[in-house]
C-alpha cells in the first residue's frame, strides 16, 4: 500500500512530508476541475477534491490510499479561486482588504474500498491594505497561483490579522481533519 497525494501543490506535499510517510507519492490529477456553477463553497471543494481523487485512483493500485484536496476563498457568497492574471489578483486583494473571509478546503480520501469526503472552514481576517502594498505584493508573483490571491505561509502573512480555525486549512490541507480521516481507514500518521 502506498499513500498517494493527488495534488501538484508544493505546499500540500511539504505538509505531508513532515510526517515521514513511507512510500508517499505524488500523482497530480490530469486536469483542473472547474468550480461547479452555483455551488456553495463547501460543496464545490468537496466535488472538486472527489473528482481529483477518482481521477488519480484510476492510475494507482487498488490497495493505495489516495488523498485529494481543493481550496477556495469565499467572500460575500462569491468563490475566489486562483486569479487569471495580475489585475484579477489585485482586485481580489482589494475586496479582502480590512475584511474577514472564509477559506474552504475539500478533502477526499479513498482507501480500502471506502470514500471519505469533507470540507473544512477557516475564517481569516485581513488588515486594511494600501494600494501600494497590493501592487508590490502582486508584483512578486506569489498571488497568481493561490486561491484568493494570497498565501498565508508566504508574503501574504503580512496581511493576516487573525485566523479562527485550522491554520493548515488556509495553506490548503487541514491536517487535523485529514489525520482523523486516515485513522478511520486504519492509517496512522503517528
Task: Provide the pLDDT for residue 44.
Answer: 93
* pLDDT of 61 strictly over 90: no
Choose, from 70, 76, 85, 166, the residue flagged as catalytic: 70
118 falls within a domain: yes
Q: Judge whether 85 counts as a catalytic residue.
A: no
Task: Provide the pLDDT for residue 18.
Answer: 86
12 falls within a domain: yes
Distances in Å between the Cα of 69 and the Cα atoms of 2, 3, 169 are 17, 14, 10
- Structurally, the chain folds into a number of domains equal to 1
pLDDT in tens, 136-180: 999 999 999 888 999 999 999 999 999 999 999 999 999 999 999
190 falls within a domain: no
Task: Provide the pLDDT for residue 136.
Answer: 98
DSSP assignment letter at 82: S
Q: Which whole number is the average pLDDT over 28-54?
A: 86
**Residue 179 to residue 165: CA distance in whole angstroms:** 16
pLDDT in tens, 65-94: 999 999 999 999 899 988 999 999 999 999
pLDDT in tens, 14-35: 898 888 787 788 888 887 666 6
Q: How many CB atoms lie within 10 A of CB 74?
A: 20
Give the domain CATH number at 86: 3.90.950.10
103 falls within a domain: yes
Task: Provide the pLDDT for residue 148.
Answer: 93
Residues 6+ apart with CB under 8 A from 106: 42, 44, 45, 46, 47, 48, 49, 50, 69, 70, 71, 117, 118, 119
11 falls within a domain: yes
* Segments forming the whole domain that contains residue 145: 3-184
189 falls within a domain: no
Amino acid at each position: 500500500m502506498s499513500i498517494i497525494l493527488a495534488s501538484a501543490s508544493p505546499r500540500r506535499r511539504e505538509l505531508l512530508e513532515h510526517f515521514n510517510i513511507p512510500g508517499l507519492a505524488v500523482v497530480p490529477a490530469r486536469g483542473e476541475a472547474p468550480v461547479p456553477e452555483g455551488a456553495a463553497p463547501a460543496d464545490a471543494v468537496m466535488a472538486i477534491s472527489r473528482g481529483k481523487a477518482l481521477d488519480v485512483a484510476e492510475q494507482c493500485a487498488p490497495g493505495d490510499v489516495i488523498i485529494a484536496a481543493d481550496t477556495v476563498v469565499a467572500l460575500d457568497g462569491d468563490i475566489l479561486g486562483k486569479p487569471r492574471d495580475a489585475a484579477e489578483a489585485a482586485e481580489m486583494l482589494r475586496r479582502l482588504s480590512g475584511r474577514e473571509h472564509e477559506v474552504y478546503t475539500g478533502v477526499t480520501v479513498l482507501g480500502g474500498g471506502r470514500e471519505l469526503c469533507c470540507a473544512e472552514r477557516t475564517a481569516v481576517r485581513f488588515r486594511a491594505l494600501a494600494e501600494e502594498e497590493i501592487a508590490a505584493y502582486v508584483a512578486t508573483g506569489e498571488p497568481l497561483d493561490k486561491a484568493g490571491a494570497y498565501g498565508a505561509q508566504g508574503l501574504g502573512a503580512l496581511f493576516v490579522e487573525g485566523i479562527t480555525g485550522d491554520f493548515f486549512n488556509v495553506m490548503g490541507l487541514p491536517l487535523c481533519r485529514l489525520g482523523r480521516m486516515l485513522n478511520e481507514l486504519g492509517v496512522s500518521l503517528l
